[in-house]
Amino acid sequence: MSRARDYSFEAMVEVTGAQLEALTKDERGRINRALAQLRVLTPDDFVLSTQIFERARAWNEVYPEIALTPQALTGVWSSVEEKAKEIKRSQQKATNVAITLGKCPRCDGHKMVWVTEDSVAPCPECNSRANADFWRSDGSHFTAARPT
């Protein structure tokens, strides 16, 4: 008769990068001690395994340079997901900040100038290194107009 799968144990082994076939007694003991704490909070093994993966993903966002251990995960279990959400919120705020354009006398900070009535090109004074050339779907090359 075979034993039932221990999903949470397998999840903890996977997220900590341990090798199931090569676990020492100490490693197995650390994993089991950590899981004993978590099973008090979440008795359902499958649900706990899902939470382990979610919290491990949050750990990697909050502490990307620090290796995850079973004790490290249980040490921040209740707060790591909220910390990861805070990091995401701050990154979103930083990326949604409007850029401030410098005042170029030629383009008024827009980085592009009108070349004809219906086409624009990179400003030669403040955006001269921009390349607006592209390849058309038919394979031909379009060279953007160069303002003088």
- Tens-place pLDDT, residues 44-95: 999 999 999 999 999 999 999 999 999 999 999 999 999 999 988 887 776 6
The half-sphere exposure of 8 on its side-chain side, counting CA atoms within 13 A, is 22
H/E segment holding residue 74: helix 70-75
The pTM for the full model equals 0.61
In a domain, 135, yes or no: yes
- Reading the block at residue 28, the tokens are 């197995």
Q: How far apart are CA 146 and CA 132, in angstroms?
A: 10
- Across-strand partners of 134? 142
CA 41 centroid distance within chain: 28
CB 114 within 8 A of CB 120: yes
121 and 82 assigned to the same domain: no
Q: Which residues of 9-44 are buried (b: 16+ CB within 10 A; e: fewer)?
A: bebbbebbebeeeeeeeebeebbeebbeebeeebee
Residues 53 and 103 in one domain: no
pLDDT band at 110 (very low <50, low <70, confident <90, very high): confident
- Both 45 and 27 in one domain: the answer is yes
pLDDT band of residue 119 (cuts 50, 70, 90) is confident
Q: Does 116 lie in the same domain as 47?
A: no
Same domain, 88 and 107: no
Q: Are 14 and 78 found together in one domain?
A: yes
Domain span holding position 128:
99-148
Q: Which of 40, 73, 75 is nearest to 58 (CA)?
A: 73
The answer as to whether 2 is a domain residue is: no
Please say which residue of 72, 95, 118 terminates a domain.
Answer: 95
> What is the per-residue pLDDT for 95?
63
pLDDT surpassing 70 at residue 102: no
How many structural domains compose the chain?
2
